[in-house]
Amino acid sequence: MQAKETLFADLVQGRAQQFQVPLYQRTYSWTERQLGQLWADILEQAELLESGDRASTHFLGSVVLAPSPQNEATFPRWLVVDGQQRLTTLSLALAAIRDHIADTQPDEAERIDDEYLINKRKSGTDHLRLLPTQADRPQFAAHIRGPLETRAGGGNVGTAYSFFRRKLVEAEDPTAPQDVFRIEQALTSRLTLVAVTAERGDNVHRIFESLNNTGLKLSQADLLRNYLFMRLPTLGEHIYETYWLPLQNSLSNDELEQLMWLQLVLGGDDRVRRQDLYASQQQHFERREISEAEIEAYIRELHHRGALFRRLLHPEEEPDPTVRAQLRRLDTWQAQVTYPALMLLMDRRERGELDSPETARAMSYIESFLVRRMICRVPTNNLNRVFQAVPGQLPRDVPVADGLHQLLSADNRFWPDDDELRGKIRAAPFYQYGRWHQRKMVLQRLEESHEHPEPVDFATPQLTIEHVLPQSAGDEWMRMLHEDAATTETPEDLHVRLRHTLGNLTLTAVNSELSNHPFERKQDLLKGSHLEMNRRIAATERWGAQEILARADDLAERAIALWPAPLRGIGRAERNRDWQLAHQVVAALPHGTWTSYGDLAAFLGSGAQAVGNHLAGTPGLANAHRVLTSEGKVSDGFRWTSPGDGGDVRARLTADGIRFTVNGAADPAQRVSADDLALLLTGADETEAHGEDAAQRTAQGQGGETRADRFFRQLAADDSPETVTTVRALLHRWEEGGGWIGHGAGQVTTSAFLMLGEAGAPGRGIWPLTLYPGGGRGGTAEVVFQHLAAREPFTDRGLRAELLGRLNELKGIDIPEGKLELRPNFRLSLLEEDHNRELLAETLTWFRHCWDTRDTA
């Protein structure tokens, strides 16, 4: 048996060979959680390569190999006893890179194939450098062999390949562009493996067990503390009691580790990673012989900065009211990424280099930078780099606040100017970007800008975001929108385009009463609001397109006054970013789904014609052929833009899993709406926060009415008595089976969650369905596949697919497989049928059984 450190490139390159996954191995099972962590590691290594750091590689894990019984002298074959998940994932990532560059650099694509993926002169299964289990083999082979139109979709293999295709499109983002060949180099030559090669007769399973026995690791803070105090033979006790123990008592271990990292960053190290904290600080101390006095000085400085750091974590401890207000807003925003810049400002103020008003002004630039980027939908993937670089890049020849303003205004920081802010507030779907607490804070700040003589105490009322024009608009609303719709736009298109824009959103504590009522009813309720913005909405005669856009313009001017602009604009980069977002979301379309030009335009805050022109003129855009007209037809103006494409578009769509109706239109059930597109680029975190928050607040009522009562009141206002009775029986049966019902505060109406797990324990609950009253269009049950993908045991795509299959047995339900990544719904009225009720009850019993047996499976 031999064990050695190696790289993926060294392992698979060279002469023709094959790595075979034994048939007894489990199938490929990595989910987006593991894929996301690997991608972050790959990008980190790519950045280190860019900086010239070639020493800090990333250890990926072990691979245990044994000679295959089919081994030949001229064609070595190895059994992959352990490590098939890693090898399969890296191979799929390389296949995605190959296909990403195939149109523009075909020679490089062929090189990737030859070096890592195939045995060029072999045929059949020997053609593949990696041969998965039989269950995964067809999908894997389809993605490795191509061509594109023959590839199978679905399954964990297809999901992983699509994940990397999507991430490669994101990596082209102008805010933080990544070179695709540097990504390839990081993947093949910077992720280290321990390859354990067994001889015939070795007990490879015992080797596997020993490699996977792990204990509780010491944190970076633990390692550095031990290192420091081992070098304090005479002063250790005094320093520990005077500085270290108070510091340790004031911060958690994680916070202490973060402070130690910030200490290095404030010293100008803009590349150090938290996981490398110990090694970096050790290297700093060991450059020369260091004395106990110097270590004491380091710990004393750490202790001093610990008090400043606590003010970032607990803004109420900041004595100056203007600085305290800024810190509170940034804390509400959950802006931990800005800590290097904030600590720099606190440190400089402590040294007397700027006063509190100047500190608050500098912090206002940080707040504006975050808020304007969120409103204008600038991706957040480079914020760590931006703020970690502040201490080392801050200009020294200007005052601190002015220097920070200047630094953040650089073109490559993408701080939106006033014109872009105005345009995005008018057109962008604000409700679908950022996190819910960030959206709420923006609206709160806009309300505060009215400077009402009796301002609202935002800490007390349970304000939520209300759509004035409802998300699900009834007939009266649609008749009004018909008056406003242009000749080329339907009322439905206008509704989709305007409903999530900032001009249509407000804050209220009575949104359950507002619900989906006509505007006249909403006016009466909004008139009595304590919020100035609501009284102004109530003062208008109607609420259509013109009123929403006029309010958007007013809010834009308030936003410009609240959040300072950069020193110079970002020019044409704004348009490039918008199209980059389009590329990302189109690349993310799951197998078996399509979207329309109008849906994509509403998601972007653009026009359908502009979207069509861009897609038609952009070569190599993944999945561009899956953007169709609203009727599900291929646009008359569609043309293949890449030399490698061509042929019949409908045949290509069929190969992509799109079904067609008898009149030749794509199946509307497979259409991905504007709301679905937004879900594709968000994780399950928003869904989980919503559900768990609802679960924790189940027992609360409002005005003497419990949330359960409110849910059924709203349901009864829109659905038949039979449907209401059926839903009551469904919830009762769920509780009898050991589940419980969580009722949400609701963003438009209330809701009911069919919960399992421990109430009030974030991260531990799970729910298969969320029920919503219909607000004029019939109540619905939302199947939360997106949430389930982050919860065991339903991280297994096969289990989610089984849930989908069981639901599709109900008459009237036909959820396409492509929506396993989303949150499709069906009408609650379908449950009036006896057969459907029984099938759903059996499905929910099966779901509970999967949950109950997850630890013993």
In the chain, the domains with their CATH numbers are 2-211 (no CATH), 228-418 (no CATH), 419-562 (no CATH), 573-677 (1.10.10.10), 683-852 (no CATH)
- pLDDT in the model for residue 339: 97
Q: Which tens digits make up the pLDDT trace of 624-670?
A: 899 999 899 998 878 887 666 667 888 889 988 899 998 889 999 99
Return the minimum-mean-pLDDT range out of 83-87, 501-505, 797-801, 810-814.
797-801
Average pLDDT along the chain: 86
- pLDDT in the model for residue 526: 85
pLDDT-based confidence at 698, cuts 50/70/90?
very low
Q: Please state, in angstroms and as integers, the Cα–Cα distance from residue 546 to each residue in 163, 498, 551, 581, following that order.
A: 40, 10, 9, 27
Nearest to 680 by CA among 512, 821, 832: 821
Determine the Cα–Cα distance for residues 806 and 836; give it in Å rounded to an integer: 11
Greater confidence (529 vs 110) lies with 110
Assess contact for 630 and 457: CB atoms under 8 A. Answer: no
Nearest to 581 by CA among 378, 415, 384: 378
Peptide bond preceding 429 in cis form (omega within 30 of 0)? no
Predicted confidence (pLDDT) at residue 356 exceeds the cutoff of 90: yes
Q: Which tens digits make up the pLDDT trace of 414-465?
A: 899 999 999 999 999 999 888 989 999 999 999 999 987 777 777 666 788 8
- pLDDT in the model for residue 132: 92
Predicted confidence (pLDDT) at residue 10 exceeds the cutoff of 80: yes
Assess contact for 442 and 425: CB atoms under 8 A. Answer: no
Token output for 266: 């404030």
- pLDDT in the model for residue 638: 84
Predicted confidence (pLDDT) at residue 700 exceeds the cutoff of 60: no
Report the percent of the chain where pLDDT is more than 90: 48
- pLDDT in the model for residue 660: 92
**Residue 92, C-beta contacts closer than 8 angstroms, at least 6 positions apart:** 140, 143, 157, 160, 161, 164
Token output for 86: 């890693």
Determine the Cα–Cα distance for residues 389 and 383; give it in Å rounded to an integer: 10
Return the minimum-mean-pLDDT range out of 13-27, 194-208, 430-444.
194-208
pLDDT-based confidence at 685, cuts 50/70/90?
very low
- pLDDT in the model for residue 150: 47
Determine the Cα–Cα distance for residues 297 and 308; give it in Å rounded to an integer: 17
Most confident range (mean pLDDT) of 211-220, 321-330, 477-486, 516-525 is 321-330
Predicted confidence (pLDDT) at residue 471 exceeds the cutoff of 50: yes
Taking residues 141-152, report their average pLDDT.
Answer: 68
Determine the Cα–Cα distance for residues 283 and 345; give it in Å rounded to an integer: 27
Q: Which tens digits make up the pLDDT trace of 98-138?
A: 999 988 899 999 999 999 999 999 999 999 999 998 888 98
**DSSP annotation of 810:** S
User: Quick one: CA torsion of 781, 786, 788, 793, rounded to 10 degrees?
Assistant: 140
Taking residues 804-828, report their average pLDDT.
Answer: 93
Greater confidence (174 vs 605) lies with 605
The dihedrals phi and psi of 121, each to the nearest 5 degrees, come to -100, 10
Q: Please state, in angstroms and as integers, the Cα–Cα distance from residue 66 to each residue in 69, 117, 722, following that order.
A: 9, 20, 63
- Cβ neighbours, 10 Å, residue 15: 8
- pLDDT in the model for residue 611: 87
Greater confidence (286 vs 216) lies with 286
- pLDDT in the model for residue 94: 96
Most confident range (mean pLDDT) of 198-202, 236-240, 277-281 is 236-240
Return the minimum-mean-pLDDT range out of 405-419, 446-460, 586-600.
446-460
Taking residues 394-417, report their average pLDDT.
Answer: 90
Taking residues 52-61, report their average pLDDT.
Answer: 81
Contacts 24+ apart (CB under 8 A), 573-578: 573/174, 573/411, 573/414, 574/376, 574/416, 574/420, 576/174, 577/173, 577/174, 577/175, 577/377, 577/378, 577/379, 577/414, 578/377, 578/604, 578/605, 578/606
Greater confidence (380 vs 367) lies with 367
Determine the Cα–Cα distance for residues 87 and 95; give it in Å rounded to an integer: 12
Determine the Cα–Cα distance for residues 117 and 129; give it in Å rounded to an integer: 5
pLDDT-based confidence at 153, cuts 50/70/90?
low
- Cβ neighbours, 10 Å, residue 705: 11
- pLDDT in the model for residue 473: 84
Q: Which SS3 state, helix, strand or coil, does residue 695 take?
A: helix
Report the percent of the chain where pLDDT is more than 70: 88
Instruction: Name the helix (H) or strand (E) containing 579.
Output: helix 573-587
Determine the Cα–Cα distance for residues 431 and 441; give it in Å rounded to an integer: 12
Q: What is the 3-state secondary structure (H, E, C) of 485-536?
A: CCCCCCHHHHHHHHCCCHHHEEEECCHHHHCCCCHHHHHHHHHCCCCHHHHH
Determine the Cα–Cα distance for residues 810 and 805; give it in Å rounded to an integer: 9
Greater confidence (220 vs 238) lies with 238
Start-to-end CA distance of the chain, whole Å, equals 32
Greater confidence (406 vs 32) lies with 406
Predicted confidence (pLDDT) at residue 573 exceeds the cutoff of 60: no
Taking residues 489-516, report their average pLDDT.
Answer: 82
